[in-house]
Amino acid sequence: MKYFEFDKHEYWALVAAETVEVAYEVYAKEVGGEDGNPESVKEEGEAVEVTKELAFGKFLNAVAHLEENKGRTIKDFTNEFLNHENTTILITSELA
């Protein structure tokens, strides 16, 4: 799995996808995009591929402190992170 950050777009998101093309499709469908069109997402800006380690760090930073996650282990968070396939991992709080 590869990880892509959409930081030049109207809404920030971190997406797990097999390819950058799939990442655009996921973003268009799950986050935003004119009529779910991946082409409009591409026009808005390039998705930036980030390392698995950086993506996991962002994920952990966003969810580990939440009350509902108290008592979970690093293994729990790792398994949850690695189970993301062709989907949005994190999204701007404006849309959450």
Instruction: Check residue 87 and give its pLDDT.
Output: 98
Q: How many domains does the chain have?
A: 1
Name the stretches of the chain with pLDDT < 70: 33-34, 94-96
Instruction: Check residue 22 and give its pLDDT.
Output: 98
Record the pTM.
0.90
Query: Is 96 within a domain?
Result: no
Instruction: Check residue 94 and give its pLDDT.
Output: 66
Query: Is 13 within a domain?
Result: yes
Kindly state the DSSP code that residue 71 receives in the 8-state scheme.
T
Domain housing 39: 2-91
Walk across the sheet containing 13-17 and list its strands.
Answer: 48-50, 2-6, 13-17, 87-91
Query: Is 78 within a domain?
Result: yes
